[in-house]
């Protein structure tokens, strides 16, 4: 069954939950509620990557995530660390994180891939064409799926050259990262093609703007049902995992989909 990665943004400015879990005890309580709802992995992030976001100092990012990662890993919870920063990734791995989730696929910090190799961690390589503060400037494609695949392939090669074993690599097409509405749909429509790269595929569509646009609504509360539907569709295309905010909705949707298929 497709794994569910629950999001804990220990940030001030993430686009849907910024500021809600900045205090470690709030982040931990939230993570526990996501695990109770059925999350398989908790993805802890200390820096927002929303469009227009600015980078934050490394010491602030580390101070935000370290106590949360250490506590959750100490409880036996599988933790991933959402960072583009090698030092933060290494610190999180020392604190017990098992997966480094780098939306830049190791491009933002040249020290990232060697750091992950040295830590023996798994890595999520996201498709990325540059920092969030001007990511749409590079959102021009002739054939978005082929280009995303070719660029992910380069990141995989770089990760393997740095000494990360292929079975420790997960790829993510980077929904919303340097992609406009229709680009995201093209990628999702051909998710199975991305899986032909030969690596596990993670999808992060949760609460993203393109879902709201498809529903033609400003009502942000309606994004969670839309997200749960994308989780089921991604699972049908053999996604290894989905990264979501509302874990309960996705777990329920995936459970009903497997009951329908007779494998629940």
> What positions carry a catalytic annotation?
208, 243
Smallest gap from Cβ 260 to ligand PMM, in A, equals 26
Smallest gap from Cβ 46 to ligand PMM, in A, equals 11
Residue 9 makes contact with ligand PMM by CB under 6 A: yes
Q: Of 78, 10, 81, which Cα lies nearest the Cα of 48?
A: 10
Of the candidate spans 10-18, 54-62, 153-161, 189-197, the one that interacts with ligand PMM by CB under 6 A turns out to be 10-18
Residues 91, 62 contacting (CB under 8 angstroms): yes
Size of the site for ligand PMM (CB under 6 A): 20
Q: Looking at 32, 50, 153, 209, which residue binds ligand PMM (CB under 6 A)?
A: 50
Q: Helix H segments across the chain?
A: 24-36, 58-74, 86-94, 112-119, 144-161, 181-189, 191-195, 209-215, 223-236, 247-261
The dihedrals phi and psi of 237, each to the nearest 5 degrees, come to -95, 15
Residue 126 makes contact with ligand PMM by CB under 6 A: yes
Closest to ligand PMM by CB, 16 or 258: 16
CB atoms within 10 A of CB 87: 16
Closest to ligand PMM by CB, 136 or 258: 136
Of the candidate spans 6-14, 91-99, 219-227, 256-264, the one that interacts with ligand PMM by CB under 6 A turns out to be 6-14
Compute the distance between CA of residue 158 and CA of residue 135 in angstroms, rounded to an integer.
22
Distances 132 to 4, 55, 139, 175 between C-alpha atoms, Å: 25, 9, 12, 13
Residue 248 makes contact with ligand PMM by CB under 6 A: no
Q: Looking at 2, 4, 6, 7, which residue binds ligand PMM (CB under 6 A)?
A: 7
Site map 202..221 versus ligand PMM, x via CB under 6 A: x-x--x--------------
Distances 164 to 29, 60, 115, 135, 198 between C-alpha atoms, Å: 33, 28, 10, 27, 15
Compute the distance between CA of residue 12 and CA of residue 28 in angstroms, rounded to an integer.
16
What residues between 219 and 238 interact with ligand PMM by CB under 6 A?
Answer: none
According to DSSP, residue 216 is labeled T
What residues between 128 and 187 interact with ligand PMM by CB under 6 A?
Answer: 172, 174-175
Instruction: Tell me which residues touch ligand PMM (CB under 6 A).
Output: 7, 9, 14-16, 48-50, 82, 101, 103, 124, 126, 172, 174-175, 202, 204, 207, 243
């Amino acid at each position: 069954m497709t794994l569910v990665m629950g999001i804990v943004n220990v940030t001030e400015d993430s686009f849907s939950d910024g500021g809600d879990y900045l205090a470690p005890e709030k982040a931990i309580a939230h993570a526990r509620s996501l695990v109770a709802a059925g999350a398989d992995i908790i993805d802890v992030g200390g820096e927002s990557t929303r469009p227009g976001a600015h980078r934050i100092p490394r010491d602030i990012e580390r101070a935000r995530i370290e106590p949360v990662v250490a506590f959750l890993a100490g409880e036996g919870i599988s933790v991933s660390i959402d960072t583009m920063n090698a030092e933060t990734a290494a610190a999180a791995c020392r604190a017990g994180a098992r997966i480094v989730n780098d939306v830049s696929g190791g491009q933002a910090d040249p020290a990232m891939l060697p750091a992950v190799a040295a830590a023996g961690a798994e890595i999520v390589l996201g498709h990325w064409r540059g920092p969030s503060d001007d990511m749409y400037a590079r959102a021009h494609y002739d054939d978005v799926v082929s280009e995303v695949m070719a660029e992910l392939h380069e990141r995989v090669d770089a990760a393997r050259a740095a000494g990360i074993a292929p079975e420790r690599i997960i790829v993510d097409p980077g929904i919303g990262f340097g992609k406009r509405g229709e680009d995201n749909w093209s990628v999702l429509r051909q998710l199975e093609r991305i899986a032909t790269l030969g690596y596990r595929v993670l999808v992060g569509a949760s609460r993203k703007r393109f879902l709201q646009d498809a529903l033609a609504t400003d009502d942000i509360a309606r994004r969670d049902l839309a997200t749960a539907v994308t989780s089921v569709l991604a699972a049908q295309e053999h996604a290894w995992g989905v990264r979501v905010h509302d874990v309960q909705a996705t777990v329920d949707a995936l459970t009903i989909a497997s009951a329908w298929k007779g494998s629940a």
